[in-house]
Amino acid sequence: MKKLAVIALGGNALLRGDQEGTIDEQEQNTSKTLENLVFLLKEGYDLVISHGNGPQVGNILMRNDAGEQVYGIPQMPVDICVADSQGGIGYMVERMLRNVLNKHGIDKEVVTLVTLVEVDKDDPAFRDPQKRIGPIYTRKEADKLASEKDWRFGETEKQQGGWRRVVPSPKPVRISNEKVIETLARQGTIVIAAGGGGIPVYIDEKNEVRPAEVVIDKDLASSLMAARIGADEFYILTDVPYVYLNYRKENEHWVEFLDHKDTVEHLKDGQFARGSMAPKIRACLQFIEQGGKKSVITEATKLDDKKYGTKITMEYED
């Protein structure tokens, strides 16, 4: 049986931090990133691709806000905004990927699945919203919106005196249509799924699917999807070729191989930054703990050179 890999595209794969965010910029970035996946296809891998949506869904939320203030258009809830971003980005990734495949003479079908991801309604994260989303408001504006919409706000980390809405970020517990994703992928179709962490939903007392005003960590959702569809390998593509220990210190050094035990210890010791590398490490651990063979964190352009990338396995590779 061919190997199945899940590739989680980081935010920089679609949009760089110093760019305006035009569709031309995003398409160029996406094409360059997808070029690096060709070697996996040529090596016989079946692929499932996920992606981030941070800047894009943030822009959707700001358009929501502007539309309400200027034209009186009712704002849409977070789950609808995530769905909007997932469909739009998925379309872009699929179109760019079809062009890359055509360029290399690879005959593959590509499909984008708008994916619901279930969370536990009793997850403690619901009682402690921390994830900042949407535009920056003044304190007066934030207080008004909190009163009118029952939203919660937190002061921004980068702009003193600015306030942003905060929502919970519970752990994903199930990927919708996971059997469909696995079946399509095993048949050779490249599947784009669980974008932006998935559309957040929960199951209520009547066993009905209900929307959740939360955001789901994209790497955790991608890792869960990889485990649930029986993927052999899980890749997180970011902006560095390796994971570093003692980052930005005199004794900083990169690591190519990590086993489960050492990775857990490094995580406990605070080796990985809370807002950047730590969530990726947790996602990699989750994958191998649930039966995956190997997790890899690397830069997209280094994928075809196997000496690059930090490989995390249950035990050190021989």
Q: Please report where in the chains the tokens 């009793």 appear, as a residue.
A: 122
Q: Catalytic residue, from 3, 32, 108, 131: name it.
A: 131
Q: Give catalytic status of residue 11 as yes or no.
A: yes
Q: Give catalytic status of residue 131 as yes or no.
A: yes
Running DSSP on this structure, what letter comes out for residue 125? G
- 180 SS3 class: helix
Question: Strands 209-211 and 233-238: what pairing?
Answer: unpaired
Q: Catalytic residue, from 196, 198, 280, 292: name it.
A: 280
Q: Catalytic residue, from 64, 90, 134, 218: name it.
A: 218
Which amino acid, 316?
Answer: Y
Nearest CA to 216 out of 168, 178, 175, 176 is that of 168
Q: Catalytic residue, from 11, 58, 197, 198: name it.
A: 11
198 within 8 A of 115, measured Cβ to Cβ: yes
Q: Where are the alpha helices (DSSP H) in 43-149?
A: 54-71, 78-103, 139-149
Q: Give catalytic status of residue 12 as yes or no.
A: yes
Cβ–Cβ contacts within 10 Å for residue 50, how many? 28
86 within 8 A of 53, measured Cβ to Cβ: yes
Q: Give catalytic status of residue 251 as yes or no.
A: no
Cα distance between residue 124 and residue 229, in whole Å: 27
| Residues taking part in catalysis | 11-12, 131, 218, 280
